[in-house]
Amino acid sequence: MIELHDLTKRYGDKLAVDGLTFQVPRGVVTGFLGPNGAGKSTTMRLILDLDRPTGGRVTIDGKGYGHLNEPLKYIGALLEATAVHPGRTAHNHLLWLAQSNRIPVGRVDEVLALVGLTEVAHKRARGFSLGMRQRLGIASALLGDPEILMFDEPVNGLDPEGILWIRNLMKRLATEGRTVFVSSHLMSEMALTAEHLVVIGKGRLLADLPMAEFIERNSRSVVRLRTPHPEQLLDALTRQSITAVPGPDGSFEVSGGDPAQLGDLAAAHGVTLHELSLQRASLEEAFMQMTADAVEYHAGPAARPGIDAAGATGTWGEQWQPAGGRGSEKKQQKGAN
Ligand code: ADP
Ligand code: MG
**Ligand 1 pocket residue status of 133, Cβ below 6 Å:** no
CATH number of the structural domain 2-217: 3.40.50.300
> Are the C-beta atoms of residues 327 and 289 closer than 8 Å to each other?
yes
**Ligand 1 pocket residue status of 36, Cβ below 6 Å:** yes
Alpha-carbon distance 270 to 229, whole Å? 10
Ligand 1 centroid vs 52 CA: distance in angstroms? 14
**Ligand 1 pocket residue status of 103, Cβ below 6 Å:** no
Residues of the chain with CATH 3.40.50.300: 2-217
- For residue 248, CA distances in Å to 167, 243, 253, 259, 325 come to 37, 16, 9, 18, 8
Per-residue confidence (pLDDT) for residue 81, from 0 to 100: 59
Per-residue confidence (pLDDT) for residue 293, from 0 to 100: 60
Alpha-carbon distance 195 to 197, whole Å? 7
Ligand 2 centroid vs 204 CA: distance in angstroms? 15
**Ligand 1 pocket residue status of 46, Cβ below 6 Å:** no
**Ligand 1 pocket residue status of 14, Cβ below 6 Å:** yes
CATH number of the structural domain 222-279: 3.30.70
Low-confidence ranges of the chain (pLDDT < 50): 295-337
Residues of the chain with CATH 3.30.70: 222-279
Per-residue confidence (pLDDT) for residue 220, from 0 to 100: 73
**For residue 181, how many other CB atoms are within 10 A of its CB?**
27
H helices then E strands: how many in the chain?
Answer: 13, 13
Mean model confidence pLDDT for the chain: 84
